[in-house]
């Protein structure tokens, strides 16, 4: 056996213009290259090649393989919840709202299911944000001030895999809290000067 470099060239069969190479220039007789970032449930074409120290090239025949279907749900991480008081549409009473943000490790949809109390059914839900993305932001509006709610995040990836967060308990802010006082109080907590 003659030591050669390692080059693995691969592309989806129907998209040869997206061909990529994984290269190891070390000359050796046993080769091992890991290919990552493949599309799920896709037919690929792959060739293996290499050159020896004299520049002679060896090229394999083309191999075809199909990647497995995506069966793993998205991972939900970095959940942040802000609570605020918002003016109601009628102008008479103020309502509370939750501003919920989170990240997923793959592009997915966004939705919040929620209900009053700490447990029980999620009696309401936001409309599904169907744009697939990694960073998510959903506003839950028209909530009662000074009330306890429980909620969960629901995401779905392109393959239809669904993931849900654990039950999250949130208390909506008091109606009489002045937004300026909340901001000044938060700045005081952060900078310890007030």
- Percent of the chain residues past pLDDT 70, beyond the cut: 88
Whole-prediction pTM value? Answer: 0.67
pLDDT of residue 12: 95
In the chain, what are the domains?
4-66 (2.60.40.10), 76-186 (2.60.40.10)
Whether pLDDT at 23 is above 60: yes
List Cα–Cα distances, 96 to 84, 111, 178, in angstroms. Answer: 6, 18, 13
Give the DSSP per-residue string, 115-147: EESSSS---EEPPPEEEEEEEEEEEEEEEPTT-
Strands 63-66 and 124-125, sheet pairing: unpaired
Is 104 in contact with 75 (CB distance < 8 Å)? yes
Calpha distance 80→48 (Å, rounded): 47
User: What phi and psi values does residue 122 have, to the nearest 5 degrees?
Assistant: -85, 100
**Mean of per-residue pLDDT scores for the chain:** 90
Residue-wise pLDDT for 60-114, tens only, equals: 999 999 999 999 999 999 999 999 988 765 656 789 999 999 999 999 999 999 9
């Amino acid at each position: 056996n003659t030591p050669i470099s390692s080059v693995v060239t691969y592309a989806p069969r129907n998209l040869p213009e997206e061909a990529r190479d994984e290269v190891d220039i070390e000359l050796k007789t046993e080769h091992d290259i890991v290919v990552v970032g493949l599309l799920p449930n896709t037919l690929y074409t792959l060739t293996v090649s290499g050159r020896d120290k004299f520049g002679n090239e060896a090229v394999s025949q083309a191999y075809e393989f199909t990647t497995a279907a995506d069966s793993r749900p998205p991972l939900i991480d970095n959940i942040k919840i802000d609570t605020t008081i918002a003016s109601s549409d009628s102008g008479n009473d103020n309502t509370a709202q939750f501003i919920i943000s989170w990240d997923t490790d793959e592009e997915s949809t966004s939705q919040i299911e929620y209900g009053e109390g700490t447990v029980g059914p999620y009696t309401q839900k936001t409309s599904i944000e169907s744009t697939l993305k990694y960073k998510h932001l959903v506003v839950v509006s028209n909530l009662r001030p000074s009330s306890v709610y429980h909620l969960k995040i629901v995401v779905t990836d392109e393959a239809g895999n669904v993931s849900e967060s654990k039950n999250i308990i949130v208390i909506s802010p008091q109606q009489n809290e002045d937004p300026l006082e909340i901001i000044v109080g938060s700045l005081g907590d952060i900078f310890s000067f007030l």
